[in-house]
Chains A and B, each alone.
Chain A
Amino acid sequence: KQEVTQIPAALSVPEGENLVLNCSFTDSAIYNLQWFRQDPGKGLTSLLLIQSSQREQTSGRLNASLDKSSGRSTLYIAASQPGDSATYLCAASVSGGSYIPTFGRGTSLIVHP
């Protein structure tokens, strides 16, 4: 059974810092890995999706990398802003079957001015 772990569970940084959020998974036979953002009281919004054949994806100040051999993905946020404050979740879908994603419990990020 796929297990997804996110470290740290919470993070508080000053505005302007570059930061890295970590996601690890136990089954390296993943099909894709997706990063989401969740604001308080809201649903999840997709940020980036990395296919198993890819090493990274970029969108604006966000860069997500994938290393299947080590079972890790990282989300890099450049020049953090208070508007980046949210919970970030990763989800790994395993090859075969119905590609059901398994979610980590998220990293709660606060960027203070």
Chain B
Amino acid sequence: NAGVTQTPKFQVLKTGQSMTLQCAQDMNHNSMYWYRQDPGMGLRLIYYSASEGTTDKGEVPNGYNVSRLNKREFSLRLESAAPSQTSVYFCASRGLAGLQQETQYFGPGTRLLVL
């Protein structure tokens, strides 16, 4: 049981390059989330997926796209990276609300530097 896994752990991009951050969970959770964490700003929600086949914007979606590939996997894509997207990105998952699976579990993070 690996929990929530993220790849890559660290990435350096040049402005304008694209990349996809991968996230997978093996807890059979319905909901998955992408956050970014910046000094002084805390955790901010980029996109989330309440269930397989659905995605919704969070607080800071501009410049990002997501795909809920199946129940296990939720990817985040930067189409044209900008220095403002330098951050630490966390993926998280959570079970169904109302059941005893509501704890949110986080991956180890991806550290992204855009030059």
Contact = CB atoms under 8 A, between A and B. Distances in A.
A98 B43 contact: no
B97 A31 contact: yes
Given A43-B107, A99-B97, A100-B48, A49 B90 contact: no
Contact of A46 (B42, B48, B105): B105
A88 interface: no
Interface stretch (A62-70, A71-79, A103-111): A103-111
A17 B50 CA distance: 41
Given A43-B90, A98-B31, A98-B48, A34 B103 contact: yes
Interface string B83-115: 000000010101001000011111111000000
Contacts of B50: 98
Contact of B102 (A41, A42, A43, A49): A49
Which size bracket describes the interface of B in this complex? 20 to 34
B32 to A, nearest CB: 11
Nearest to B92: A44
A103 B33 CA distance: 13
Nearest to A103: B43
A45 B106 contact: yes
Nearest to A45: B106
A46 B106 CA distance: 8
Contacts of A42: 108-109
Interface of B: 4, 31, 33, 40-43, 45, 48, 50, 56, 58, 90, 92, 94, 97, 102-109
26 contacts: A31-B97, A34-B104, A36-B106, A41-B109, A42-B108, A42-B109, A43-B90, A43-B106, A43-B107, A44-B90, A44-B92, A44-B106, A45-B106, A46-B103, A46-B105, A89-B42, A89-B43, A91-B104, A98-B48, A99-B94, A99-B102, A100-B33, A100-B48, A103-B42, A103-B43, A106-B42
Interface of A: 31-32, 34, 36, 41-46, 49, 89, 91, 93, 98-101, 103-106
